[in-house]
Structure 1
Amino acid sequence: MPTTLFSDIEYLKGVGKARGEKYRKLGVTSPYELIYHIPRDYLDFRTHVPVAGAVLNEYNVLKLTVFRKMPPQRIKGGLVICKAAASDGTDDILIVVYNNVYGFQALREGETYYMYGKVSGNFLRKEISSPVYIKADEQVLIQPKYHLTQGLSVNMIRANMQQALEIMRREPFETLSPDILRKYDLAPLMWSLENIHFPESELAAETARRRLAFDELLKLQIGMSIMKSRSRRSTAYKMDPSVDTDEFTKGLPFELTDDQKKAVDEIVSDLCSSVPMNRLLQGDVGSGKTAVAAAACYFASKNGVQSALMAPTEILAVQHFKTLSGFLEPFGVRVSLLTGSMTAKKKASVREGIEAGEIDVVVGTHAIIQKDVEYRSLGLVITDEQHRFGVAQRAALAEKGDYPHKLVMSATPIPRTLALIIYGDLDISAITQLPKGRKPVKTYAVTGKLRSRAFGFVRERLDEGRQAYVVCPMIEESESELFAVKTYAENAAKGDLKGYTTALLHGKMRAAEKDKTMQLFRDGEIQVLICTTVVEVGVDVPNAAVMVIENAERFGLSQLHQLRGRVGRGGFESSCILITDNTTDDCVKRMKIMSSTSDGFKISEEDLKMRGPGDFFGNAQHGLPPLKIADIACNMELMNRAQVCAKELLEDDPLLEKPQNRALKMDVMRLFSKDIIG
């Protein structure tokens, strides 16, 4: 049976079982997925230099003829060194290949190659180390560089890629109609896939990338639109607009900002619709999203409907429970907590209250979506930091009611461009103002030479009765050049923070241990919390007025901003000190941005420009397909065109059932899980 695009990758000529396992590590399970393993960069073999003109200790392209191969040498530790002498017709050079006998064997005496590698040595004797090479008679001189894994070389992937493209030439398909290709000035799919891997020129590579980026954005938009239309079924919880929220908002101990009032109005309007609300409430750290969520819960309860708020961690769930109880219980709204660490007896009691309708608002972790939790009338579902939950978890909570209204809260200020992609199935409310009286956190970036002065400043704040965070990026001594948090905490307690009560908090601790430490810090019994990014989201200690972040270069701008948001939550002037010895232009620029603005939306725009969408959330899973080709920061015009195209396609063919759209529908289904796009 011939190999097809969707056969197992190991059946592709030249792959086999062992190499197939290596490909699976890269997420490549079929020739089709291999074709979409897009080059991260290219090697241009057209720009070769003579051996005499090679820049020492830099990467160069040389055109060399191999004239003598020496026998491989085995050295300690099982390493094999292979050497060959070569010439460019004027000067000789030594080719040195480490631990790759297979690659070395492919070199032939008398053959001429283009070689790319690091050239070292001196005026008299030069060598090129482990070069990437192609034969000099190769037609395509711009060659792809791929993300690799151990046991897979660039040359192996290139050879396998040629095989996969050959299969596609035998069974070609096109996902877009000729009309769309003409309208949006796009290259054909087959040509684009050939030229993204083996481009005829820089222009060909760019044209191919544009087509494939458009495809990716289009498929994402279509998938999101289908998700959105599915959520537009009628809800059983259309609420009464005559119920007034004024009693609640006027009874709060502070006045809502204009942004908060607008968000409450938008949410109330959605809750009174027969279509389920699907809204994202975006707001910077400390902008007062919980007060808006409380108003929504109040409105729901006055309509006789239950609400549920799901938080990603127990610490955050407990905090939301305390805040919502304080806001809502004076108005007779019954709030209860449900988390995994509660006793079986307490959980059973809460579950009974939920089922009987005696609890109006349930706050908890994923414990609130377990099968044994039955709601009497769940009409409003709120998730906090939604990108930390998988699609399945969010769906499980929504299924607890009869198409309930959904509100998503996020303290990660996401640029609107990225929000449209990640939360494309949601309407967006943004809170950009901070509550009255909130002072911006003063931020300073310093090198390690000023560490002792920085801690002198920390001690002054502690002596005034304030508390502090010290954030480190690691929890294990896995990289010798970085502080290991445990060792760092021990040293700090004996040195810079001697005489003050310190405690360690990191992600590997048990939940109960974390909660206990956090509670002691909240109660003021711990003066300095030395921690990892476990404090990034939501922890609220108003007395904490100073934060030190070690190795600040290890964090993205948005993460630094999230961390900084843990201080400045009380009435005290607060500070954040970023310590880094990294003086690269990129790092200096990031530290300047952090020191000059406290606007989370501005910071996130810069973060997106500097790091790209792939890294925007670190390792968090926002539950949507990753973008492999499109760069949202640079592809705004393309994204807008893809949105228009998706809209036109779905208006004409809502289920993509027309013959010309079937290949596109299959691609959308492959990109999204089949339970989301059916």
Structure 2
Amino acid sequence: MHYAQAVDSAKPATCILNQPVTCLWGVGAERAELLGKLGIQTVEDLLLHRPRRYEDRRQTVPIGTLQPGQTALVRGRVVVHGVKYYQRRSKSVYELILEDGSGRLYCHWWNLPFMEKYFRVGDEVIVFGAVRHLRPATMDHPETEVLEADEEAGAHFERITPVYPLTEGLTQRWLRGLVWRTLRQLAHQISETHPELVQAGYLPRGEALNRLHFPAEMEEVERARRRLAMEELLELQLRLQSRRLKLQERARPLPCGGDNNRLIKPFLARLAFKLTQAQTRVLREIRQDMSGKCPMRRLLQGDVGTGKTVVAACAALMALESGYDAALMAPTTLLAEQHYQTFRQWLAPLGVPVVLHISGRPAEVAGTASPQLAIGTHALLTEDFAPPRLGLVIIDEQHKFGVAQREALVRKGRYPHLLIMTATPIPRTLGLTLYGDLDVSVLDERPVGRGHIRTFVRTPDKAPKVWEFVRQQLEAGRQAYVVYPRLEEGDSENGLKALLEEGEQVRRLLQPWRVGVAHGRMPAAERERVMADFRANRTQVLLATSVIEVGVDVPNATVMVVENAERFGLAQLHQLRGRIGRGAHASYCILLAGTKTPEALERLETLVKHEDGFAIAEEDLRLRGPGELTGQAQSGLPDFRFADLRRDLSLVEAARELARRQLGGGGA
């Protein structure tokens, strides 16, 4: 009987993609459990299990032609194999010797004696690995597969062969055979989920799955990946745009466009600077949204020093002028307190109540029925915070909050307007996926009169010269930050420094100047006292952790030394660097690397080459990937199998446009 006929007779014909893998021939409860460890629960999961690489088994390399360091695929017969024990049988090496007529290959596996049961003399075996040396030709721990004559031979040999991620208890051959059988059996049942993708020139879904697993040429793999990636991105964009359409359909906008700039005019008149053209443009966009036909949902991106806080203040004043309350949520107590001090200084002369809500501190009451601005942390999410007429929600540094937290604050009112701010420039692919349901404004202009920042990367042996330069800047009347990756528990063997352990040494190096310390574990009152001393130049040097990453504005601070700079992400270093260069003086950021590895130094050189936060964010995405960059659990970003946000900008944009058209224009 033909194999496919045997399968058909053994299993019901109703086996379809969304059924559990146990509906497949050869998959019982035990193997289904092992497949589950790979995230494979259904037949569709199996077909979407992406190979981690491919072996071109159309061309094996004769053993006699192997070269040291070469990574090669070799086919031969087992002539000798066995385990050798040593050190009183506490250690072992399993040796397998293959012969192909041109020579012999010695394969070794250290301390894996059970490998002996997988092979027999005379077996024909494929091995893939790096040649360690010749005389004799040797590979350590190569990947192996015993070749057997069966009807699935076309899946394993004389073709480009997929190599899958595995778990203990599953072999490449078994899993590859399962995918091969499943594709042959279900070819006619793989329906087209998105016909519009085929119309747009992408592969049909069934063809893409076949080419993904068993391509005739390697070029087919990328075409298949793009089709399946586009499917993932389109489904995400459809969800995002649907969310926006539902908001537009069911939400009545609150009229928060302001009252003839009754508060904004005197506020701007009191500022010591004029708004940039970019700030004016963004405020025009915000006013239009807050006067529009549906609640504002806008993301405000701005590089360090571009004036997002002033824009937020003007947006809040629009709501307050209109008789509505406003709320601003920050990710840390330090930033919330700094915003509170800034906004109270700005708005108190206008008679605007500003109150603070943070954990461990009783919620303030404005003592007046006038519309108020509430500033706080996650404490704004508690039941204690219930403003009667919430018109505007502002979320600062959104990437440090979860999507659910954002929605929880918005639900405090009756569809208030939402302004999300971030000083961490977001690569365009991440922006379109994480915030695809939002309109985007960008502050791309720095206020005039800001000093230029020069950035340097220095290795540990240059530290004495670095500290001498810091002393020179202090002698000139400037101030300095010194930033550490850890608060305590450094690692001297690996060169990892911690603030509390290094503080005394820095004080000695920088005598007689006063040195302050700021970190997240300090009581709020003590930390604010330290920051106030630094702002007033009563303290000339501030030792800190990354708690000063955002919200600290000291124009006289012109030097920043970052210890163990390689321990920070590029975007985070750019944010830290933004604490200097806020005055008219030239500023200097010195990245002290705790290592001399070329990879780490090359990565840090990105900060030397670029001052543009968006360029740095793109490089950070390329190096670290979206999951690490945003925090997968907080971001709401799907766990894509095929889409790669480091290189799929064109696919993201195309998916967004397709979703917009499919839903009738929503989300433009």
* 1:300 Cα deviation after fit: 0.8
Residue 224 of structure 1 is matched in structure 2 by 240
Deviations 1:163-214 (A, max 9, x none): 776786585333122xx24422222223322332343320221121111111
Q: Which amino acid aligns with 2:228?
A: L
- Residues 225-374 of structure 1 mapped to structure 2, 5 A cutoff: 225-232=241-248, 233-239=250-256, 242-244=259-261, 245-342=264-361, 346-347=362-363, 349-350=364-365, 353=366, 357-358=369-370, 360-374=372-386
Check conservation: 2:255, 2:322, Cα contact below 8 A. no
Change in CA separation of 1:635 and 1:368 when aligned onto 2, cut-off 3 Å: same
Check conservation: 1:522, 1:541, Cα contact below 8 A. no
* 1:394 Cα deviation after fit: 0.7
Change in CA separation of 1:91 and 1:357 when aligned onto 2, cut-off 3 Å: farther
SS of 2:550's equivalent in the other structure is coil
SS of 1:243's equivalent in the other structure is coil
SS of 1:634's equivalent in the other structure is coil
Structure 1: gaps (5+ residues): 655-678
Deviations 1:491-538 (A, max 9, x none): 8448755776667766xx64x447744642552376555554443333
* 1:586 Cα deviation after fit: 5.9
Change in CA separation of 1:332 and 1:171 when aligned onto 2, cut-off 3 Å: same
Check conservation: 1:319, 1:540, Cα contact below 8 A. no
In 2, the alpha carbon distance for the partners of 1:450 and 1:268 equals 52
SS of 2:551's equivalent in the other structure is coil
SS of 2:494's equivalent in the other structure is coil
In 1, the alpha carbon distance for the partners of 2:513 and 2:70 equals 51
Check conservation: 2:82, 2:95, Cα contact below 8 A. yes
* 1:327 Cα deviation after fit: 1.9
Check conservation: 1:75, 1:81, Cα contact below 8 A. no
Q: Which amino acid aligns with 2:399?
A: H
Deviations 1:237-260 (A, max 9, x none): 123555323333223232111111
Q: Which amino acid aligns with 1:56?
A: P
- Residues 63-212 of structure 1 mapped to structure 2, 5 A cutoff: 63-71=75-83, 73=85, 81-100=93-112, 105-121=117-133, 123-135=134-146, 138-139=156-157, 141-145=159-163, 158=176, 172-177=190-195, 180-212=196-228
**Are 1:429 and 2:441 an aligned pair?**
yes
In 2, the alpha carbon distance for the partners of 1:498 and 1:40 equals 56
In 2, the alpha carbon distance for the partners of 1:314 and 1:64 equals 66
Structure 2: gaps (5+ residues): 1-10, 148-152
Check conservation: 2:109, 2:140, Cα contact below 8 A. yes
Check conservation: 1:10, 1:20, Cα contact below 8 A. no
Check conservation: 1:357, 1:376, Cα contact below 8 A. no
Q: Which amino acid aligns with 2:297?
A: N
After the TM superposition, which of the residue ranges 520-529 and 151-160 deviates more from structure 2? 151-160
Check conservation: 1:472, 1:530, Cα contact below 8 A. no
Check conservation: 1:306, 1:357, Cα contact below 8 A. no
SS of 2:279's equivalent in the other structure is helix
Residue 538 of structure 1 is matched in structure 2 by 551
Change in CA separation of 1:528 and 1:608 when aligned onto 2, cut-off 3 Å: same
Deviations 1:85-112 (A, max 9, x none): 2223222222112455565533342122
Q: Which amino acid aligns with 1:266?
A: E
SS of 2:591's equivalent in the other structure is strand
Residue 457 of structure 1 is matched in structure 2 by 469
* 1:477 Cα deviation after fit: 5.5
* 1:411 Cα deviation after fit: 0.5
SS of 2:275's equivalent in the other structure is coil
Aligned residues: 640
Which of 450, 465, 475 is the aligned partner of 1:438? 450
Change in CA separation of 1:72 and 1:143 when aligned onto 2, cut-off 3 Å: farther
Residue 5 of structure 2 is matched in structure 1 by none
Residue 403 of structure 2 is matched in structure 1 by 391
Residue 231 of structure 2 is matched in structure 1 by 215
Residue 565 of structure 1 is matched in structure 2 by 578
SS of 1:651's equivalent in the other structure is coil
In 1, the alpha carbon distance for the partners of 2:516 and 2:107 equals 55
In 2, the alpha carbon distance for the partners of 1:543 and 1:375 equals 39
After the TM superposition, which of the residue ranges 29-38 and 14-23 deviates more from structure 2? 14-23
In 1, the alpha carbon distance for the partners of 2:488 and 2:51 equals 33
Report percent identity of matched pairs: 35
Check conservation: 1:386, 1:622, Cα contact below 8 A. no
SS of 1:231's equivalent in the other structure is helix
Q: For the pair shown, which has the larger CA radius of gyration, 1 or 2?
A: 2
Check conservation: 2:63, 2:104, Cα contact below 8 A. yes
* 1:427 Cα deviation after fit: 0.9
TM-score (norm 1): 0.83
**Are 1:382 and 2:394 an aligned pair?**
yes
Check conservation: 1:473, 1:554, Cα contact below 8 A. no
After the TM superposition, which of the residue ranges 29-38 and 256-265 deviates more from structure 2? 29-38
Change in CA separation of 1:454 and 1:67 when aligned onto 2, cut-off 3 Å: same
* 1:419 Cα deviation after fit: 1.8
Deviations 1:384-413 (A, max 9, x none): 111221111111111111111110001111
Q: Which amino acid aligns with 2:245?
A: S
TM-score (norm 2): 0.84
RMSD of aligned alpha carbons: 3.7
Check conservation: 1:5, 1:167, Cα contact below 8 A. no
Q: Which amino acid aligns with 1:220?
A: L
**Are 1:60 and 2:72 an aligned pair?**
yes
Which of 637, 640, 645 is the aligned partner of 1:624? 637
SS of 1:186's equivalent in the other structure is coil
